Structure 1
């Protein structure tokens, strides 16, 4: 997996600034606990932190071919074995068994068109010595994070903003535009909270040379005619899923699967267990749970059942070595854990126990495994969220997740009146929605309903899924765990995206294609289970802990957090009986605490106008 960083300066001698590149690289030690390295020339410096997954002794970076190119690489190319064979036939010689060397030689053979040959998740930067240019490339779905910051004579880049912010050329400025997207959660293309910083877009190549910075999109979702019938489509999904899971199990370190008891993770678990059984191995699975959750569970508007019974059914069917990571309110609300999550993400998202539980789960897994497969993104690919089935959400005229999850409205009641006026979040969301919808292409043969559902699917695959992928990458890499996402394989995404909505729901339920394609590895209980989201604690002890911490913050009336959040509104939340605090109100408390600690950790310069 790893973390990458670098600096291109056409007007300076970077051989005299190695300590700066070392500092940039060092901010991501958690992403690469196994090794580090830098490669410095007068106009370019590359830094790398390594998490060793494949070819443990041979994949050190930065990796260079003398006089040709040098590269820093994060991610995995799942088809590197086939690519190495092809490149060998073309005369390339390899000194290691790593996928990194294959990608570097692929660039030397095909230039930036190497992307057309890659299957995987990746963010990498290549300094081409022949043309004195930097080429930055990100995977099609945006699984691996990648940021850059233009300077007067070049660029800074890194896997995470913290790497860039460690360079004195980067200013820790946050303006209204940055905060607007933070609170709107529309995942505006190229957005970074930090002014002047940009995200390398998914499926995008950014090239930097003496003439400036240029971008090229090499992959996007396009509408194509689907000609397979139902039986053929199900079989094709089964073939793709089987091949993808088999590829993503390749590693030279211990592997496992994240098992929630839902259809998505259970399908990956079943396919992975079958594959490992063929190789004489037992699959390990991990789940997150909360103290007393199953015994005291209460159905709510998004969850009908607790996860635990379904997890047990899957683990028993496939014979996995299973472990539950059980968390209590004290662990979930621990301010030190909150600060670690904030440092991992660089932004105050305010998702509370959704984020801290994920971080603690990954921390526990890392003690036993280095690679984990996840069911993330299946809902976006197959149309699994409940709101996909709701006509009102599909035709609401805004992003469906904002309509149904109260993500934006959870901010608004807690912001100062002046700050709400400056942000104009409704206007921003409306503009972003119009921009996003305009990117969708349609087929002339589509009915109005099929057009509407294609639009909804496109919004999720190009906007919402990237929020979730970033969350999972940051939480996992903060503890040095590589999480792989089989449902983001671009072959599967393209194929399922172009199946008509009537085929995606042919049995009258959500995710019909996935359910039928993987039914052979699923227990009956999971095949019939209704979609249930990532779990959240229902223990009022969590809200009580937040209120206690909020009171400490509220005593500091001059703290910068109250330039954004209304003091009296937060005071009212802190005074409620813990059992009466709703989920939206709890998110408000979490967001105030996130902002408070973020100010303490990052000392940003706010520019509100």
Structure 2
């Protein structure tokens, strides 16, 4: 894991712009606390911050490979899990290596295969190669979009970075957010390529972006394709288990201690059980971490959304797997602190408004980082195996919109009440969502002979895997890297995604439960309590003191009549909610308070120009 950035300008010599590339690089110091490096040559300047995970002394970047026709220089973020096999193949083709890092393997792979190296990589990665042979920059992102990569075309080249803040540190980048960017913030719909900031783009998952003196072009090397599934149910269960065993084995490779995030749910328990077994065979003990809130387990109140607390199930799993287990217990008063909120917003560069989940995730990762550098997570299993409640809701299945939006509206309401009338008219979110949905399903392929029901469920899975999961993966990366923690996501291995996506829904839920295929494939390593547990999402605090703190902080903003946030948020709404008895504030209103604070702090920090026309 690392942070990468760069600048290509074909009309100037960037050797005189060292200060600017230093500024761009240092915005991501927390992504790479172990080392830094920059490289300039004529029209290109590259920067890198390193989190050392594999070959601690040998993986310094930018990394250059001299060729007879010009240098190849790489800045790379992420992990390539099959680098040892690729190194062996490349060595057989005459390549010679001086380090044990996966970075050097990727660089030699580019020399051998060019941009087609992307199709040979198994991992999570975002990297850029300056190809001095052809004076071009090649940017490549992993298939699922696990690692972020943004770019900003200029009149004579491009700016790029792992995070928008690196690009925004360059004077050429404008800090402007127009209507389409604002719609991304309020609609909970991820548009491929959209980076919120005007003029900035995101390298789409599975995509190569090439910049040369003639301009910019893109090439897609991987998409989620519809294919026939011929395995029986038993064969499918066996194949899922075989894939998971291999994926976890690959993702445990590191030269630093490894651990898992363990909620006590099916997904994280599967990863923990398999990782503990594999490390145990090597005589090592896995660490596991669970998040809880002060007093919440003892005073837990069941709701429709969360029926059980995580901690008892996590401890059952930890005992069964024999892990060295830690509870990270958070004080909700602490993550209501504006400073923690500011750190979270700065990590993401945008105010996504995921209520208390972002600051609590930040504090969880900060606690884990005190013990570990690499953790494996159960993230994305719900998208791959169909675990969310909307997969089992007939209304969501048949809705002519993104299925998760219906569940969001039921659980927390929408943002319509908090926005000013002018903002509601300008954003026109209903039209935006309709257009986005039509665009999203346009790439869906139907299998010959597929029943209407199976095609409906394929559409549900497709939307979650190509839209919804990308928001969660970005959140996971940005918040974890804000504390220098590498989070690996085994369920996003493209081989597993492709296989399970094309497995019929009748097999994915053969016993009528969510994620039946995953549960059956790993039944032998799970305690009965975890095997039988009904899905529960990432925990949210039930402490009324958190809501009280939100009210106080919004009241402070209301004391600033000219604050920019009231260009979007209704002052009347905010005044009404802060006067409401805390016990009577709905989840929707609490979410609105959170969103107001996120927007206000983001505006204070980034000073964006908002264009509402």
Class of the TM-score when normalised by the shorter of the 2 chains: over 0.9
The yes-or-no answer on 1:185 pairing with 2:185 is no
The yes-or-no answer on 1:420 pairing with 2:424 is yes
CA displacement 1:307-361 (0-9 Å, x = unmatched): 1111111011011111111112211201100000010000011123100110000
- Distance, in Å, in 2 between the alignment partners of 1:584 and 1:222 is 37
Q: 2:353 aligns with which of 350, 353, 357?
A: 350
Q: Equivalent residue of 2:259, what SS?
A: strand
In structure 1, runs of 5+ residues without a counterpart are none
Equivalence for 1:117: 120
- Distance, in Å, in 2 between the alignment partners of 1:254 and 1:65 is 30
- Distance, in Å, in 1 between the alignment partners of 2:234 and 2:507 is 10
- Distance, in Å, in 2 between the alignment partners of 1:279 and 1:122 is 27
Equivalence for 1:48: 48
Equivalence for 2:387: 384
- Distance, in Å, in 2 between the alignment partners of 1:583 and 1:237 is 38
Residue 183 of structure 1 contacts residue 408 of structure 1 at CA under 8 Å; is this kept in 2? no
Equivalence for 1:170: 173
The yes-or-no answer on 1:549 pairing with 2:553 is yes
Q: In the TM superposition, what are the counterparts of 1:51-62 in structure 2 within 5 Å?
A: 51-62=51-62
In structure 2, runs of 5+ residues without a counterpart are none
- Distance, in Å, in 2 between the alignment partners of 1:111 and 1:415 is 49
- Distance, in Å, in 2 between the alignment partners of 1:385 and 1:409 is 18
Residue 149 of structure 1 contacts residue 164 of structure 1 at CA under 8 Å; is this kept in 2? yes
Q: Equivalent residue of 1:451, what SS?
A: helix
- Distance, in Å, in 1 between the alignment partners of 2:43 and 2:332 is 51
Equivalence for 1:31: 31
Equivalence for 1:442: 446
Structure 1 stretches of at least 4 aligned residues deviating more than 3 Å after TM superposition: none
Equivalence for 1:496: 500
Equivalence for 1:255: 258
Residue 36 of structure 1 contacts residue 61 of structure 1 at CA under 8 Å; is this kept in 2? yes
The yes-or-no answer on 1:63 pairing with 2:63 is yes
Q: 1:596 aligns with which of 596, 600, 611?
A: 600
Aligned length, in residue pairs: 609
The yes-or-no answer on 1:558 pairing with 2:562 is yes
The yes-or-no answer on 1:204 pairing with 2:192 is no
TM-score after normalising by structure 2: 0.99
Q: CA deviation at 1:49?
A: 0.2
- Distance, in Å, in 2 between the alignment partners of 1:242 and 1:411 is 43
The yes-or-no answer on 1:100 pairing with 2:122 is no
Q: CA deviation at 1:410?
A: 2.7
Q: Equivalent residue of 1:68, what SS?
A: strand
- Distance, in Å, in 2 between the alignment partners of 1:409 and 1:140 is 33
TM-score after normalising by structure 1: 0.99
Q: 2:458 aligns with which of 454, 457, 471?
A: 454
Q: CA deviation at 1:303?
A: 1.0
Q: CA deviation at 1:496?
A: 0.2
- Distance, in Å, in 1 between the alignment partners of 2:81 and 2:412 is 37
Q: In the TM superposition, what are the counterparts of 1:183-582 in structure 2 within 5 Å?
A: 183-406=186-409, 409-582=413-586
Equivalence for 2:11: 11
- Distance, in Å, in 1 between the alignment partners of 2:487 and 2:40 is 30
Q: CA deviation at 1:234?
A: 0.2
- Distance, in Å, in 2 between the alignment partners of 1:381 and 1:221 is 12
CA displacement 1:100-132 (0-9 Å, x = unmatched): 000000000000100111000000000001011
- Distance, in Å, in 1 between the alignment partners of 2:371 and 2:563 is 41
- Distance, in Å, in 2 between the alignment partners of 1:119 and 1:580 is 50
CA displacement 1:267-291 (0-9 Å, x = unmatched): 0000000001001111100011011
Residue 412 of structure 2 contacts residue 591 of structure 2 at CA under 8 Å; is this kept in 1? no
Q: Equivalent residue of 1:228, what SS?
A: coil
- Distance, in Å, in 2 between the alignment partners of 1:538 and 1:329 is 9
Q: Equivalent residue of 2:450, what SS?
A: coil
CA displacement 1:3-55 (0-9 Å, x = unmatched): 00000000011001011001000000000000000010110011000000000
The farther-off stretch of 129-138 and 325-334 is: 325-334
Q: Equivalent residue of 2:371, what SS?
A: coil
- Distance, in Å, in 2 between the alignment partners of 1:303 and 1:459 is 24
CA displacement 1:442-476 (0-9 Å, x = unmatched): 11110000111001100000000000000000110
Q: Equivalent residue of 2:31, what SS?
A: coil
Q: CA deviation at 1:409?
A: 4.5
Residue 408 of structure 2 contacts residue 414 of structure 2 at CA under 8 Å; is this kept in 1? no
